[in-house]
Structure 1
Amino acid sequence: MAEPTEPPYARIAAELSRRIADRELAPGDRVPSTRQVAQEFGVALATATKALDVLRAEGLVTTRPRSGTVVAARRTARAGGPAALTRDAVVAEAVAIADTEGLEAVSMRAVAGRCGVAPMSLYRFVEDRQELLLLMADTTYGAARFDVDEAGPWRPRVERIARELWRLHRAHPWLGGVSPLTRPLPLPNVIRMGDKLLGALAPLGLPPLLHFNVHVLVYSHVVSLAGTVELEDEAVSETGLTADEWTDLQWVQRIGDDAFMAELPHFARLFGALGSMSDGYDMDLDEIFTLDLAVFLDGVEALAARHREGPGRTGPDPEQTGGGRREDAHG
C-alpha cells in the first residue's frame, strides 16, 4: 500500500517555513514572489499562491504596502510607557497610520490608541480630524527638501523639485487625497514648494497664465502617478497579492495562449514565445516617472520655444483663450 504523499503546496510551505525558522529569511525580508516560487519548485502559479497563503494564515509572512510580502516580525514586549503627548507626536502618529493603512484609517480614536491616551486628550492639540489632516500634509511637506540653485538652468531646477515631490508622494501616497487638484489648500509649506517651482520655470519666459498652468501640470503629473501607489496598497490589502503576483495569475496564461496572441501581432512581437520581452514585464513606477518627466519637460521646452518665435508658432495662445483664470496656488 502506497504511503500518502504530501500535497505540493504543503511541501513548499514547509520548506519556506523552515527557511524563516532558520533565519535564512529574516523578519522584514521579502518572500519569494508567486512567480519565483513556481519557478524554483516547478509548480503552477496557483500552487505557489496556495503555499504563500498557508504562510499568511500561520502569521509567518505579512503583506505590507509598497514592500510586498515579507517575513513577519517576531512580537516583543514594548519597554516603558507611552511618551509625553505633544502636538508633534499626535501628528507623527497620524502620519504613521496613513503611511501604513491609508488615509481612511486615520481617525481620532485610532491616533489616540497609538498614543496610548483617550481620544478626548487629542482635542487639546487639534480641533478635529480635518485640522489633523492639514497638519499631517503641511508637516510632511515641511520635512521635504525643495532647495535648488536659484541661479542654475531652469530644467535641472524643475527636475530637482519634481523628483523630491515624487519621493515625497511615493513615501506618503495619501498626500494626494488631502487636497484635490481643483481645491488646493493654502498650506504654508505647500505654497513655499509651489513658489520654488514657479521660480524654476521663470527663465522660460512664458506668459503669466501659461507659466502658472505649467507649474500646476508639473505638480499634477507627479501626484497623479504617485496616486497609483495608494491604489496598489488598497489592492494588496483586498487581495493579499502583490502587483507582480496578481499580474502573473491574470496574464501569464493569456500571454501563453498562442491562438489568442495570433490576433495581437504587436503584443506577440513583445511577449510571445519568441518576443523581445518573452520573460514578461514588471512595471517600475520610478522608471515610468523618469520617462514621464523627461517627455513632459521636452514638451514644455518646445512650447516655450514656440512662444519666443512669435507669430509663426502653432497652437492657441493661453493668454487669449480667457479660460481657467483661477489663481489657485498648487504645490
Structure 2
Amino acid sequence: MPPDQRGRPFERIAGALRERIASGELRPGDRVPSTRQLVRDWGVAMATASRALAVLRDEGLVVTRPGAGTVVRVPERPPGRRVRSADHGLSRAQIVAAALARADADGLEAVTMRSIAGELGVTPMSLYHHVAGREELEYLMIRTVFRAHPLPGPGLAGWRSRLESVYRLQWRLYRRHPWLAELLSVTRPPLVPEAMVHGEWTLQALDELGLPPAERTRAALALPALVRGLALGAAGELRAERETRMRNAQWWSVVDAEATALVESGRLPRLAAVGQAAVVDVDGVFDHALTAYLDGIAQRHPRSRTTPTSRA
C-alpha cells in the first residue's frame, strides 16, 4: 500500500513528504509545505500537520530555520569538507555548547545527534563516546544553563525579595532559551541539582510566612507552574513564527476580517472594547502575574506584611 494510504493522518502526510525528498522532488535546502499549506492540501487539523513535520525533523530529514521556514536538511558533509574519523580533541563541553546553540537558533526539535555531529565535523558515533544519547544531552543542556546563571547569595532579605529573584531569573532563562520550558516539568522535574536549588530556595522563602504545610507545597508548585506556563506560550509563538514565516502582527492581519466580524457581532462586547490592545506583551503579562500572585500571598497571610518587599 502506498505511504499516503496507510497509517494515521500525520503518518500519511510524513510518508508523502518523505517520498518527495527521497525522489529528489524536494532537494536539500528546498522549503517543504508549511503547516497551513498541509492543512489546506490534506484537510487536516493544524496539530496533525505540525506533528507530520515533527516526524520528519526527528528523522533528520528537515530542519526549521528562522526566516526560511521548514526546509530539507542539507547533507552534513558538503563537498570538500573533511569529517574526522575519530573524535580527537572533541569534548563533552563542545557537544553541549553546539547543542545549546542549535536549540537557541532552531528549536529543540533541531537538536539531533546527527545534526550536532555535523556542526562539529565528526561522525555521529563519535558523540556517543561522550554522551549516552539525546536524553543525556538534554540533561546536560539544562545543567549548563542553570549553572551559568546561579541564584544570588544568601544575603538577600525578605520572603518576597527571594521569591521574586528566583522566578524573575527563571523567566529570563526561559526567554533566552525558549526550548528550556519544554524540558522542565513541575510534577515530574528532571533531577538537575542546579534547578532543584530553586525549589529549595522557594520553600525557604515560604517558611517565613508560617504557611500550613499543604498550602506551602501548593505555592511552591504554583509559582514555577505559572512561570513555565507563560514561557511555553511564548515558545509556542516562536515555533509558529518559524513554521508559518509570519510574525504575530502578520498573523493577526491575516485573520483580521474574521476576528473583527466575531468581536463586533455584539456577543463579545468586552473583547471588542479591547481592540488592538489585545496584542500580547508576554513580559508584561509575566510581571503582572507574578506581582498579583505575591500580592495575594501577602493579603492572605498578614504576617507577610511585616517583611521587606521588593519589586525587581
Question: Secondary structure at the residue paired with 1:267?
Answer: helix
| Residues 158-237 of structure 1: pairs in structure 2 closer than 5 A | 158-237=163-242
Match of 2:67 in 1: 63
Asked if 2 retains the 8 angstrom alpha-carbon contact of 1:87 and 1:125, the reply is yes
Asked if 2 retains the 8 angstrom alpha-carbon contact of 1:107 and 1:129, the reply is yes
Asked if 1 retains the 8 angstrom alpha-carbon contact of 2:163 and 2:205, the reply is yes
Query: 1: distance between equivalents of 2:231 and 2:267?
Result: 34
Residue 260 (str. 1) matches residue 264 (str. 2) = yes
Query: 1: distance between equivalents of 2:162 and 2:68?
Result: 34
Identical amino acids, percent of aligned pairs: 35
Of the three residues 290, 300, 303, the one matched with 2:300 is 303
**Cα deviation digits, residues 20-68 of structure 1 (max 9, x gap):** xxxxxxxxxxxxxxxxxxxxxxxxxxxxxxxxxxxxxxxxx96389xxx
Query: 1: distance between equivalents of 2:127 and 2:119?
Result: 11
Cα drift, residue 257 of structure 1: 5.0
| Residues 1-331 of structure 1: pairs in structure 2 closer than 5 A | 63=67, 84-150=89-155, 152-251=157-256, 253-254=257-258, 260-271=264-275, 280-305=277-302
Query: 2: distance between equivalents of 1:84 and 1:284?
Result: 45
Cα drift, residue 303 of structure 1: 3.2
Cα drift, residue 256 of structure 1: 5.1
Partner AA of 1:214 in structure 2 = A
Query: 2: distance between equivalents of 1:92 and 1:178?
Result: 17
Cα drift, residue 194 of structure 1: 1.8
Distance 1:64 1:229, change over 3 A: farther
> Normalised by the size of structure 2, how large is the TM-score?
0.65
Query: 1: distance between equivalents of 2:207 and 2:184?
Result: 25
Partner AA of 2:202 in structure 1 = L
Asked if 2 retains the 8 angstrom alpha-carbon contact of 1:91 and 1:132, the reply is yes
Question: Secondary structure at the residue paired with 1:245?
Answer: helix
Partner AA of 1:260 in structure 2 = E
Query: 1: distance between equivalents of 2:199 and 2:277?
Result: 39
Question: Secondary structure at the residue paired with 1:193?
Answer: helix
RMSD: 3.0
Asked if 2 retains the 8 angstrom alpha-carbon contact of 1:93 and 1:111, the reply is yes
> Normalised by the size of structure 1, how large is the TM-score?
0.61
Distance 1:301 1:260, change over 3 A: same
Question: Secondary structure at the residue paired with 2:272?
Answer: helix
Aligned length in residues: 226
Query: 2: distance between equivalents of 1:125 and 1:264?
Result: 57
Query: 2: distance between equivalents of 1:260 and 1:231?
Result: 28
Query: 1: distance between equivalents of 2:260 and 2:182?
Result: 39
Question: Secondary structure at the residue paired with 2:67?
Answer: strand
Question: Secondary structure at the residue paired with 1:63?
Answer: coil
Match of 2:11 in 1: none
Deviates more, 1:253-262 or 1:200-209: 253-262
Unaligned runs of 5+ in 2: 1-64, 70-82, 306-312
Question: Secondary structure at the residue paired with 1:231?
Answer: helix
Query: 2: distance between equivalents of 1:209 and 1:184?
Result: 19
